[in-house]
Amino acid sequence: RRWLVGRLAHTQSRQIAAVLSGFVDRIQGGAVLPDEVRSELQALQKALAREVHAVTCQQAILLNHCWLSPGEAAALSAAVDARLDDRRSAGPRALLLEVARLDAAAELG
């Protein structure tokens, strides 16, 4: 079960989290022009949205899998959802929320 959830929830979000962390460091260091902030955040949003979309497509397949009972499929799908939302392990939905917050702050100035 753990292996299957890990495979279904496998994303590049740790790498994206590292890019986001470096980006925030560059902002704090003054190495990013204000005009560039929103465009870079939007690129990160797009990358994270693709990650979430890929996993949700896998979840749809999982929920209709002929070898799993509906209860097993639902439990596995819920475990995948938890991984997507987990802030500690750089879940892509959690990161997407963080990037949206940064983008809103950048828009407000």
Model confidence pLDDT, tens digit, residues 43-86:
999 999 999 999 999 889 888 888 889 999 999 899 989 989 99
Residue 80's SS3 state is helix
Q: What is the pTM of this model?
A: 0.82
The span from the CA of 46 to the CA of 17, in Å, is 13
Q: Inter-axis angle of helices 34-63 and 13-28, to 10 degrees?
A: 160
DSSP state of 94: H
End-to-end CA distance of the chain: 46
Q: What is the pLDDT of residue 42?
A: 93
